[in-house]
Amino acid sequence: MEHIRTSKVEQVRLLDRFSNKSTTGTLHLTATHLIFVESNSTSAQEIWILHHHIASVEKLSLTTSGCPLVIQCRNFRMVHFVVPRERDCHDVYSSLLRLLRPESYDELYAFSYNPKQNDRQREEGWQLIDLAAEFERMGVPCDQWQLTDVNRDYKVCETYPRDLYVPITASKPIIMGSSKFRSKGRFPVLTYFYQEKKAAVCRSSQPLSGFSARCLEDEHMLQAVSKANPNTRYIYVIDTRPKLNALANRAAGKGYENEDNYSNIRFQFVGIENIHVMRSSLQKLQEVVGTRALSVTDYLVGLENSGWLRHVKAIVDAAIFLTRAVTVEGASVLVHCSDGWDRTAQVCSLGSLLMDPYYRTIKGFMVLIEKDWISFGHKFADRCDQLDGDPKEVSPIFTQFLECVWQLTEQFPQAFQFSEWFLIQIHEHVHSCQFGNFLGNSQRQREELQVKEKTHSLWAHLLSGQQNYLNPLYCPSYGYTNPVLEPSTLPCHFKFWRNMYHQFDRPMHPRQSILKQALTLKENNRELESIAQNLQAKLQKLGVSTSPLEVRLSPRECALPPRPKSLILGAPFSRKEVHQEDEDELVEGEEAREDIPVGSDGDRTVEGGSATENGYGELPLSCGSKPEPAMVSLEFGVARMTC
Amino acid sequence: MEFAELIKTPRVDGVVLHRPFLPLVEGTLCLTGHHLILSSRQDNTEELWLLHADIDFIEKRFVGSSGTIIVKCKDLRIIQLDIPGMEECLNIASSIEALSTLDSVSLMYPFFYRPMFEVIEDGWNLFLPEESFKDLESMTDEWRLSEVNRDFSICPSYPPLVVVPKDTDDDTLLKVASFRHGGRFPVLSYYHKKNGMVMMRAGQPLIGPNGRRCKEDEKLINATLRAGKRGYIIDTRATAVAQQAKARGGGFEQEANYPQWRRIHKTIERYSVLQDSLIKLVEACNDQSHSMDRWLSKLEASNWLSHIKEILTTACLAAQCIDREGATVLVHGTEGTDSTLQVTSLAQILLDPSCRTIRGFQALVEREWLQAGHPFQHRCAQSAYSSGKLHGEAPIFLLFLDCTWQILRQFPCSFEFNENFLVLLFEHAYATQFGTFLGNSAAERSATLKLPQKTVSLWSWVNRPQEMEGFVNPLYEPNSLVIWPSVAPQSLQLWEGVFLRWNRSSKCLDEAYEEMVHIIEYNKELQKKVNSLRRQLAQLETEEI
């Protein structure tokens, strides 16, 4: 590769982020990864860093022991190397600078990543998620909502998907007129249908109302949304921005709906900050938690000053507002922010997750992301800095959404089919550019890039390893008894997500993981069940009659309560999807054995940690003169996962 | 004194009880000598039985002719009673106030409580020093059991039997006692089987402004060192605080006189600061406002987690000295009855796997807290809703339990007990029907109050199989290793099971816990089933041959 000036540097030291420990090894630079291989060690730890994961490389000034190179990654990994010779350091540095800023999409890893699959498997991977089937599951099209073809060729709105659902009474002229009155042409369309009450969640961008402009078609559009719902005569319009921001937009000819012009709307600001505030908030948070020998005071003050948890809470609050309007009042809701692809995506998707248990399953969560984030044009390329772009466009909006979901999993440990490992894994790959799903900024762009023809789908990859992401405590019947989640939003119930932001800082993790333990037990239970069945079969052959698996306890999840009359839950899956799910299992069987794919970090097991690693204090005598005793090792590590 | 004199109105009808996350209950309120009882006429509603001793503070409010009493409990619960009639309300309030602040220990409920269960194993005889010394004797012959304090005359806060270096005779101990705060001469706290290193604890040395020294003291602690080895003295006070103590007759071991020892100062706060911290923390947790910034800044201002971190760090340091440096450790603060015990007991949890079992933890509490003279009566007289002048109240023991919980969270499979057990100990340290946590020292407990004869031990109740069931950690797998927790702020958490216990609905978490238990139970069942099938099959196969 022309960008790689040096492919191998030896005797490089890797410094631990929070202690004084260091390891020595060899640094390798490949076309896709930066690899550190520990030497002189029986365990020979390897660290693989994908170039796309690198957010910044910094070369610090020369020290007596060498030239420090600090690499910060988007998956919150932070590595500090010391390269003995400055020239080597400079070569690695300048190679990385070029490699981490690809100029065109075809340089991205997804276009060269090859997991040894044939074309048929690859294509099937892309067919796993079918949004038409998803709308069908919600009960759309129906007598009030229909599929429109206005955007078949991306003529009306190039950041929307081709298939859009609108009220039956919204004629083409109304749609065209409304789209001209909305930023980037993003007119109100359906994103979730709460079948039980026929209430709709719609999304759009802000209206171009300025100080006084109005648009009859747009007003008609909202009326059409309202009329499609027999429950209420009003609809809620949730502007997810702080009022001040919305007011400021008026001066630029944009703004928000004037309640005088739109009959029967209930307008509400919910005050989520913009992408710039979120970006600097996470930066501040990372700075705080990256500090060595951090005191509790500095930690809590830093947590507060970063505002991160305040923002997370604001999003959850907005989603709860949306959910209550829909499920309690049975009202339809239109959600928008400025362009309708950041805050709007957060609130719509989180609201849907609160209302519909399907989205709390592994497959359903993929569908949710595919719908509210990918298809509706969340600008993944810009927000995740896939190409060398405008740094002001970068923002952790999607990360924030994943965190909101995590906060919910903490409050409802049995409601989600997946564990936090699933969320962390999705986060990893949103930034890895290893799969085609998140490339580019819109569906249209992905079609131009031919991602379905040239790259692999993350969803297939995740489904093939789904046993790793299961929540062992998940109770499928929970969704029937508690279809709508009502989380507490008291501030004390929001926690710092250590396993995300410190996922690579092993000494900080619990030394034994309940999650891992429970997963292992469940797997073990399944094995035992089949062993017991085999043994019984053998005994039967020998003429001994045994009653079928007579254990006192039985797996609880088998017993689902009778389905309530809820229409959401009653709605059948489309045949296609059921069929595909059967196939998933086949694929799983074949792929489960495939080893850690490229781009992973190998196993990350936690080894009990050691006294010195934790830095309890400096011992004034003899410390350091003796070799560190063997590590206390425990079997169950928390961050053990394959990527 | 008769309790009846204090009860102005024994009974009021039509009282409405409000509790967070529970439906209202309307019923009759009764006051007895030790309980506040609310019973409803409906059969299926639960009665409320509240010990007066559990009441920390009450507030009265009046609207029209009816009054409201807000009862704030030592276990941090807050309940509200709506009482019809102004006079009844005032009478009830003043009765509760009187009954919940009785001066005399012997009027406390444990002296009146008669167990409804058969005492199979008397908790009072479970953890005798003679017994644990037998274990020590099997490992080393360097220590002896001294009866020098049998009548509590040398050190009123020590038990009658203490373990001291074998070569130190009782006369020496007498001299050393006069050189240590409260007569607390250095005694053995823990023997580390793995390398024979020990941890001792004491009161501060009384060197005073003139730098008094005591050869016997030096000799005593030097006797615990291996040839050519040095030891560590962990002083739980900041250097400046230890310096200031000299002016008041206290101080620290000076290098010149203790050349084989290295002193490390850590800063664990004293009781008034800690009590203040608890009050602020609980205030923050009960704040129902929805501002994130306010919550975080209040949490920070309480300093509770800073105290947790400091105590844990010091305990880890002590454990590190013993296990990693192979050194002997002496721990003390000022009196040696508070921060010292936090450090020595937590260090044992890290070092000694047996302290992570239920019995072992009980033994630890018995040995390092009750026998070691932590003044429970003083420290736990008031809890987080206390107001006005305090008399040495402080959540020293609660901090220890919280630190244990932090370690338990990081090593969820290494403890035989679960969080509920720690919460139970917290409750019973503050208000209880059992005698275990009454009094301030072994002397008070056995000589003055005669608790073993007159009250029931908490351990007698807890160790019954049917009670024990609720306290067993289903994930427990004995782990013989030393455990090293992380003390980074990101690894520490607010103990929700205590501080948010009454402010959240725990339904979801409880159900998840049950599911966890279920998975484990089911696994055991399956194992059994598979084994029996295998045996059956093997038998048949051999018969065939």
Percent of chain A with pLDDT over 90: 74
What is the arithmetic mean of pLDDT over A417-444? 96
| pLDDT single digits (tens) A54-74 | 999 999 999 998 999 999 999
Assess whether pLDDT exceeds 50 at residue B198. yes
Percent of chain B with pLDDT over 90: 85
One-letter-per-residue 3-state SS of A282-312: HHHHHHHHCCCCCCHHHHHHHHHHHCHHHHH
If 0-12 CB within 10 Å is exposed, 13-18 middle and 19+ buried, where does residue B379 land? buried
Q: Name the residue among A212, A238, A236 with its Cα closest to residue A225.
A: A236
A131–chain B Cβ distance below 8 A for any pair: no
> In angstroms, what CA-CA distances link A583 with A469, A589, B333?
19, 10, 67
Q: What is the model's pLDDT at position A41?
A: 66
| pLDDT single digits (tens) A477-517 | 999 999 999 999 999 999 999 999 999 998 888 888 899 99
Q: Which two tokens stand for residue B3?
A: 């309790």
Q: Rounded to the nearest 5°, which phi and psi values hold at B188?
A: -75, 130
Percent of chain B with pLDDT over 70: 100
d(CA B497, CA B420): 8
What is the arithmetic mean of pLDDT over A459-481? 94
Q: How far apart are the CA of B410 and the nearest CA of chain A, in angstroms? A: 4
Nearest residue in A to B288, CA atom: A490
B309–chain A Cβ distance below 8 A for any pair: yes
Q: How far apart are the CA of A547 and the nearest CA of chain B, in angstroms? A: 11
Mean pLDDT of all residues belonging to chain B:
94
Choose the weakest-confidence range: A166-175, B38-47, B111-120, B497-506.
B38-47
Q: Where residue B376 falls among pLDDT bands split at 50, 70, 90?
A: very high
| pLDDT single digits (tens) A374-385 | 999 999 999 999
Assess whether pLDDT exceeds 70 at residue A439. yes
Q: Which two tokens stand for residue B28?
A: 């009759």
Choose the weakest-confidence range: A299-303, B38-42, B427-431.
B38-42
d(CA B373, CA A267): 65
Assess whether pLDDT exceeds 80 at residue A427. yes
Q: Where residue A566 falls among pLDDT bands split at 50, 70, 90?
A: very low
CB atoms B299 and A300 under 8 Å: yes
Assess whether pLDDT exceeds 70 at residue A435. yes
Choose, from A89, A157, A202, A337, the residue flagged as catalytic.
Answer: A337
Assess whether pLDDT exceeds 90 at residue B313. yes
Q: Is it true that the peptide bond before A141 is cis, omega within 30 degrees of 0?
A: yes
Percent of chain A with pLDDT over 70: 84
What is the arithmetic mean of pLDDT over A438-455? 96
Chain B segment 387-416 residues within 8 A of A by beta carbon are 409-414
Q: Which of B277, B291, B501, B533 to mutate to test the interface with A (most CBs of A within 10 A)?
A: B533
Assess whether pLDDT exceeds 70 at residue A621. no
Which of A294, A413, A492 faces B508 most closely, judged by CB atoms?
Answer: A413
Q: What is the model's pLDDT at position B278?
A: 97
Choose the weakest-confidence range: A111-125, A131-145, A175-189, A221-235.
A111-125
| pLDDT single digits (tens) B184-197 | 999 999 999 999 99
Whether A558 is catalytic is no
Q: What is the model's pLDDT at position A508?
A: 87
| pLDDT single digits (tens) B411-425 | 999 999 999 999 999
Count of beta carbons in the 10 Å neighbourhood of residue B8? 16
d(CA A130, CA A124): 11
For residue A575, which amino acid is it?
R
For every residue of B190-245, DSSP letters joined together read EEETTTTEEEEE-PPB--TTTT---HHHHHHHHTTSPTT--EEEEESS-HHHHHHH
Choose the weakest-confidence range: A32-46, A125-139, A193-207, B234-248.
A32-46
A544–chain B Cβ distance below 8 A for any pair: yes
What is the arithmetic mean of pLDDT over A596-604? 33
One-letter-per-residue 3-state SS of A21-45: CEEEEEEEECCCEEEEEECCCCCCC
CB atoms A608 and B414 under 8 Å: no
B321–chain A Cβ distance below 8 A for any pair: yes
Assess whether pLDDT exceeds 50 at residue B290. yes
| pTM higher than 0.80 | yes
Q: Where residue A612 falls among pLDDT bands split at 50, 70, 90?
A: low
CB A289 within 8 A of CB A308: no
A147–chain B Cβ distance below 8 A for any pair: no
What is the arithmetic mean of pLDDT over B84-104? 91
Q: Where residue A548 falls among pLDDT bands split at 50, 70, 90?
A: low
Mean pLDDT of all residues belonging to chain A:
85
Assess whether pLDDT exceeds 90 at residue A100. no
Which residues does chain A have within 8 Å of residue B508's beta carbon, measured at their own beta carbons? 411-415
User: Which residue bears the tokens 């035989």?
Assistant: B416
CB A250 within 8 A of CB A210: yes
Which of B266, B414, B529 faces A551 most closely, judged by CB atoms?
Answer: B529
CB atoms B512 and A473 under 8 Å: yes
Which residues does chain B have within 8 Å of residue A294's beta carbon, measured at their own beta carbons? 488-490
Assess whether pLDDT exceeds 60 at residue A558. no
How large is the ipTM? 0.94
Which residues does chain B have within 8 Å of residue A496's beta carbon, measured at their own beta carbons? 490
d(CA A232, CA A237): 14
Q: What is the model's pLDDT at position A611?
A: 57
Q: What is the model's pLDDT at position B545?
A: 67
